[in-house]
Protein backbone atom coordinates (compact mmCIF):
# COMPACT_ATOMS: atom_id res chain seq x y z
CA UNK A 1 0.00 0.00 0.00
CA UNK A 2 2.87 2.40 0.80
CA UNK A 3 4.36 1.65 -2.64
CA UNK A 4 1.05 2.47 -4.34
CA UNK A 5 0.74 5.73 -2.39
CA UNK A 6 4.32 6.68 -3.25
CA UNK A 7 3.71 5.89 -6.94
CA UNK A 8 0.53 7.99 -7.02
CA UNK A 9 2.31 10.87 -5.27
CA UNK A 10 5.20 10.72 -7.77
CA UNK A 11 2.78 10.77 -10.71
CA UNK A 12 0.88 13.74 -9.27
CA UNK A 13 4.09 15.67 -8.56
CA UNK A 14 5.53 15.03 -12.03
CA UNK A 15 2.22 15.89 -13.71
CA UNK A 16 2.02 19.12 -11.75
CA UNK A 17 5.64 20.00 -12.58
CA UNK A 18 4.99 19.62 -16.32
CA UNK A 19 1.74 21.58 -16.36
CA UNK A 20 2.30 24.97 -18.00
CA UNK A 21 1.49 27.95 -15.86
CA UNK A 22 -0.54 30.89 -17.09
CA UNK A 23 1.11 34.21 -17.88
CA UNK A 24 -0.67 37.54 -17.57
CA UNK A 25 -0.75 39.33 -20.91
CA UNK A 26 -0.23 42.60 -19.03
CA UNK A 27 3.00 41.19 -17.56
CA UNK A 28 4.22 40.11 -21.00
CA UNK A 29 3.40 43.62 -22.25
CA UNK A 30 5.31 45.26 -19.39
CA UNK A 31 8.37 43.04 -19.92
CA UNK A 32 8.38 43.41 -23.73
CA UNK A 33 10.62 45.77 -25.62
CA UNK A 34 8.33 45.81 -28.71
CA UNK A 35 4.59 45.15 -29.05
CA UNK A 36 2.51 45.56 -32.17
CA UNK A 37 0.49 43.98 -34.93
CA UNK A 38 2.84 42.61 -37.57
CA UNK A 39 2.38 40.94 -40.92
CA UNK A 40 4.83 38.09 -41.45
CA UNK A 41 6.58 38.83 -44.76
CA UNK A 42 9.04 35.97 -44.99
CA UNK A 43 10.48 33.23 -42.86
CA UNK A 44 12.95 30.41 -42.91
CA UNK A 45 13.81 27.44 -40.75
CA UNK A 46 17.15 27.65 -38.99
CA UNK A 47 18.87 24.25 -38.78
CA UNK A 48 22.68 24.36 -38.88
CA UNK A 49 24.24 20.99 -39.69
CA UNK A 50 20.76 19.45 -39.60
CA UNK A 51 20.09 20.50 -35.99
CA UNK A 52 16.71 22.21 -35.66
CA UNK A 53 16.95 25.60 -33.92
CA UNK A 54 13.69 27.32 -34.82
CA UNK A 55 12.83 29.95 -37.39
CA UNK A 56 13.56 33.56 -38.21
CA UNK A 57 11.04 35.91 -39.77
CA UNK A 58 10.85 39.36 -41.27
CA UNK A 59 7.73 41.13 -40.10
CA UNK A 60 6.28 44.54 -41.05
CA UNK A 61 4.54 46.55 -38.34
CA UNK A 62 0.93 47.34 -39.17
CA UNK A 63 0.19 48.98 -35.84
CA UNK A 64 2.66 49.87 -33.12
CA UNK A 65 1.63 49.55 -29.50
CA UNK A 66 5.04 49.80 -27.83
CA UNK A 67 8.36 51.00 -29.29
CA UNK A 68 7.54 50.37 -32.96
CA UNK A 69 6.02 52.51 -35.72
CA UNK A 70 3.80 51.33 -38.56
CA UNK A 71 5.86 50.30 -41.56
CA UNK A 72 8.94 49.31 -39.54
CA UNK A 73 10.42 45.93 -40.46
CA UNK A 74 11.84 43.77 -37.68
CA UNK A 75 13.40 40.34 -37.60
CA UNK A 76 11.92 37.99 -35.00
CA UNK A 77 12.31 34.38 -33.96
CA UNK A 78 12.24 31.60 -33.04
CA UNK A 79 8.70 30.24 -33.10
CA UNK A 80 8.37 27.66 -35.88
CA UNK A 81 4.72 27.93 -36.92
CA UNK A 82 4.00 31.52 -37.98
CA UNK A 83 2.32 31.74 -41.39
CA UNK A 84 3.67 33.98 -44.15
CA UNK A 85 1.17 36.72 -45.05
CA UNK A 86 -0.67 36.40 -41.73
CA UNK A 87 -0.94 39.16 -39.11
CA UNK A 88 -0.08 38.59 -35.46
CA UNK A 89 -0.13 40.59 -32.28
CA UNK A 90 3.51 40.01 -31.30
CA UNK A 91 4.98 40.60 -27.87
CA UNK A 92 8.74 40.74 -28.43
CA UNK A 93 11.65 40.78 -26.05
CA UNK A 94 15.12 39.45 -25.53
CA UNK A 95 16.10 35.81 -25.79
CA UNK A 96 14.41 33.46 -23.32
CA UNK A 97 15.56 30.02 -22.32
CA UNK A 98 14.35 27.54 -24.95
CA UNK A 99 11.76 24.95 -23.96
CA UNK A 100 13.47 21.73 -22.80
CA UNK A 101 11.99 19.86 -25.76
CA UNK A 102 14.33 21.73 -28.12
CA UNK A 103 17.77 21.21 -26.53
CA UNK A 104 19.79 22.26 -23.53
CA UNK A 105 20.26 25.97 -22.93
CA UNK A 106 24.04 25.66 -23.38
CA UNK A 107 23.70 23.83 -26.70
CA UNK A 108 21.02 26.26 -27.87
CA UNK A 109 23.20 29.29 -27.04
CA UNK A 110 26.25 27.81 -28.77
CA UNK A 111 24.57 26.39 -31.88
CA UNK A 112 21.36 28.32 -32.45
CA UNK A 113 21.43 31.71 -30.74
CA UNK A 114 24.03 33.25 -33.11
CA UNK A 115 21.78 32.37 -36.09
CA UNK A 116 18.50 33.69 -34.67
CA UNK A 117 17.37 37.33 -34.38
CA UNK A 118 17.83 39.22 -31.12
CA UNK A 119 14.08 39.85 -30.75
CA UNK A 120 12.14 36.75 -29.77
CA UNK A 121 8.50 36.03 -29.11
CA UNK A 122 8.02 36.21 -25.35
CA UNK A 123 6.20 33.90 -22.98
CA UNK A 124 7.60 30.68 -24.41
CA UNK A 125 5.86 31.47 -27.71
CA UNK A 126 2.59 32.62 -26.13
CA UNK A 127 3.41 36.18 -27.19
CA UNK A 128 2.26 35.43 -30.77
CA UNK A 129 -1.49 35.82 -31.23
CA UNK A 130 -3.04 35.61 -34.68
CA UNK A 131 -5.10 38.64 -35.66
CA UNK A 132 -8.22 37.99 -37.75
CA UNK A 133 -9.70 40.67 -39.99
CA UNK A 134 -8.55 42.96 -42.78
CA UNK A 135 -5.34 44.31 -41.23
CA UNK A 136 -4.36 45.97 -44.51
CA UNK A 137 -7.03 48.63 -43.89
CA UNK A 138 -6.69 50.73 -40.71
CA UNK A 139 -10.29 51.87 -41.18
CA UNK A 140 -11.35 48.28 -40.37
CA UNK A 141 -9.33 48.15 -37.12
CA UNK A 142 -12.55 47.92 -35.11
CA UNK A 143 -13.26 44.53 -36.75
CA UNK A 144 -9.93 42.91 -35.83
CA UNK A 145 -10.03 40.03 -33.38
CA UNK A 146 -7.21 38.23 -31.57
CA UNK A 147 -7.01 34.43 -31.44
CA UNK A 148 -6.22 33.28 -27.91
CA UNK A 149 -3.19 31.07 -27.28
CA UNK A 150 -3.40 28.78 -24.29
CA UNK A 151 -2.18 29.65 -20.81
CA UNK A 152 -2.44 33.42 -21.15
CA UNK A 153 -4.54 35.46 -18.72
CA UNK A 154 -6.23 38.38 -20.45
CA UNK A 155 -7.53 41.58 -18.82
CA UNK A 156 -10.84 40.89 -17.12
CA UNK A 157 -13.89 42.07 -19.00
CA UNK A 158 -12.25 42.14 -22.43
CA UNK A 159 -15.02 41.79 -25.00
CA UNK A 160 -14.98 38.57 -26.98
CA UNK A 161 -16.68 36.97 -29.96
CA UNK A 162 -16.80 33.61 -31.72
CA UNK A 163 -14.76 33.21 -34.91
CA UNK A 164 -15.06 29.85 -36.65
CA UNK A 165 -16.25 28.31 -33.38
CA UNK A 166 -13.35 29.66 -31.30
CA UNK A 167 -13.30 32.45 -28.76
CA UNK A 168 -11.46 35.59 -29.92
CA UNK A 169 -10.97 38.93 -28.19
CA UNK A 170 -11.79 42.23 -29.87
CA UNK A 171 -8.42 43.84 -30.61
CA UNK A 172 -9.45 47.43 -29.87
CA UNK A 173 -10.93 46.48 -26.49
CA UNK A 174 -7.90 44.36 -25.58
CA UNK A 175 -5.50 47.23 -26.36
CA UNK A 176 -7.63 49.72 -24.39
CA UNK A 177 -7.67 47.41 -21.36
CA UNK A 178 -3.94 46.70 -21.57
CA UNK A 179 -3.26 50.44 -21.56
CA UNK A 180 -5.66 50.91 -18.64
CA UNK A 181 -3.97 48.28 -16.46
CA UNK A 182 -0.85 50.38 -16.02
Can you give the residue ranges of every domain in the chain?
A: 31-144
- Percentage, residues of the chain above pLDDT 90: 43
In Å, the largest CA–CA distance within the chain is: 67
pLDDT of residue 1 exceeding 70, the answer is no
Residue range 56-65: mean pLDDT, rounded: 96
Residue 98: the pLDDT is 64
Q: DSSP for 107-146, please give it.
A: HIIIIIGGGS-SEEETTTTTTEEEEES-TT-GGGGGG-EE
What is the CB neighbour count within 10 angstroms for residue 35?
24
Identify the residue with better confidence: 90 or 51.
Answer: 90
31-144: CATH number: 2.40.50
Residue 177 has pLDDT above 60, yes or no: yes
For residues 106-126, give the mean pLDDT: 83
**What number is the average pLDDT over the span 84-103?**
79
pLDDT above 70 coverage of the chain, percent: 82
pLDDT for 182 beyond 50? no
Task: Name the pLDDT band for 84 (thresholds 50, 70, 90).
Answer: very high
- Looking at per-residue pLDDT, the higher value among 111 and 16 belongs to 111
The mean-pLDDT minimum among 8-12, 42-46, 50-54, 96-100 falls in 8-12
Distances (CA, A) of 76 to 83, 103, 142: 13, 20, 26
User: Mean pLDDT for the chain?
Assistant: 82
CA-based radius of gyration for the chain: 19
pLDDT at position 138 is: 87
pLDDT tens digits for 20-45?
Answer: 688 888 888 999 999 999 999 999 99
Residue 152's DSSP bridge partners are 23
Higher pLDDT, 167 or 17: 167
pTM given for the model: 0.82
Amino acid sequence: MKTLAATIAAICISAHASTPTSIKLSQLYDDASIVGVFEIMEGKVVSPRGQWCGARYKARAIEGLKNVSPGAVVEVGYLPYLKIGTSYLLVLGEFEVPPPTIKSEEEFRATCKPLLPAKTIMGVWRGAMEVEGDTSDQAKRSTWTVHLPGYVDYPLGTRSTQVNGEKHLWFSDLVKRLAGER
